[in-house]
């Protein structure tokens, strides 16, 4: 399975999944014109995708939802679709749905946005599975029965950097209650069966409270798995 990051940060998130048979868009959190431009650079167009799966309605994940829905079907929770006034296919937690060559299982996440979801995406063609987990302070579901070949997981901030910064209490409380730290990221990954995992992608890093190299080194050394950090404007290190 091939994974391309078009954008990954609190400013915007968008990713391309390709199993060699179908392409799936994850998130639509950048302006539509920018999305089209980034796809053009990959020699792709929006109609090349079997659908777009969106985790929640915050603009950095759903900004282009309405425009995308003019060309391909958008999949999201009822809350997300209603919030963005988009007609699409409703996803429900703990339910499975087929999208082209993919099976998608949705599950609730712990974020400050109604209807927020994470996804387990499996390709019928390759047999590979991917976990997509963003914008959540932790995950309360036991996913050990799944074997993930790829994990895309939020690693938003480093606890010590957050503690050192002089930020207002409301912002700090929101970060603690709606986003995943490096420490929680490690604990969460330890709860998974990673025996067949090929790559870990760290996504949605904070601009001011993260350290790309430290995060990458920490995860790679802890799990011995190829680790990539998705950069703000696309690509990864």
201 CB-near residues (< 8 Å, 6+ apart):
3, 5, 150, 151, 152, 153, 227, 228, 229, 230, 236
Residue 135 pLDDT class (50, 70, 90 cuts): very high
Residue 237, domain member (yes or no): no
| Number of domains making up the chain | 1
Residue 215, domain member (yes or no): yes
Q: Which domain holds residue 94?
A: 2-229
Residue 64, domain member (yes or no): yes
pLDDT tens track for 198-213: 999 999 999 888 999 9
Q: CA 105 to CA 206: how far, in whole Å?
A: 27
Q: CA 195 to CA 217: how far, in whole Å?
A: 19
pLDDT at 160: 84
Residue 1's closest CA among 150, 147, 201, 167? 150
Backbone angles phi, psi at 101, to 5 degrees: -90, 10
Residue 60, domain member (yes or no): yes
Residue 136, domain member (yes or no): yes
Q: CA 234 to CA 225: how far, in whole Å?
A: 21
Check pLDDT > 80 for residue 36: yes
Check pLDDT > 70 for residue 162: yes
Residue 236, domain member (yes or no): no
- Segment 100-127 mean pLDDT: 97
Residue 114, domain member (yes or no): yes
Tell me the CATH number at 178.
3.60.15.10
pLDDT tens track for 165-202: 667 667 777 777 778 999 999 999 999 999 999 999 99
Containing 33, the helix (H) or strand (E) segment is helix 32-41
Decide the pairing of beta strands 96-99 and 74-76. Answer: unpaired
Q: Please, where are the H alpha helices in 94-210?
A: 159-164, 169-178, 182-190
């Amino acid at each position: 399975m091939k994974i391309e990051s078009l954008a990954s940060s609190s400013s915007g998130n968008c990713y391309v999944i390709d199993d060699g048979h179908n392409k799936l868009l994850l998130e639509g959190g950048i302006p539509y014109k920018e999305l089209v431009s980034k796809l053009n650079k990959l020699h792709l167009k929006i109609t090349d995708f079997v659908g777009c799966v969106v985790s929640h309605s915050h603009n950095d994940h759903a900004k282009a939802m309405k425009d995308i829905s003019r060309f391909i079907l958008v999949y999201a929770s009822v809350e997300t679709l209603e919030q963005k006034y988009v007609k699409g296919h409703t996803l429900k937690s703990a339910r499975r749905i087929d999208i082209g060559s993919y099976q998608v299982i949705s599950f609730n996440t712990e974020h400050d946005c109604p209807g927020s979801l994470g996804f387990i995406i499996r390709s019928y063609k390759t047999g590979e599975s991917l976990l997509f987990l963003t914008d959540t302070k932790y995950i309360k579901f036991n996913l050990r029965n799944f074997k993930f070949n790829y994990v895309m997981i939020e690693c938003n901030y480093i606890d010590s950097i957050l503690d050192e910064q002089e930020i207002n209490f409301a912002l700090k409380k929101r970060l603690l209650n709606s986003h995943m730290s490096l420490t929680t990221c490690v604990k969460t990954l330890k709860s998974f069966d990673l025996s067949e995992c090929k790559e870990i992608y760290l996504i949605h890093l904070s601009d001011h409270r993260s350290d790309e190299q430290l995060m990458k080194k920490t995860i790679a050394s802890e799990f011995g798995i190829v680790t990539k950090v998705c950069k703000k404007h696309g690509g990864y290190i």
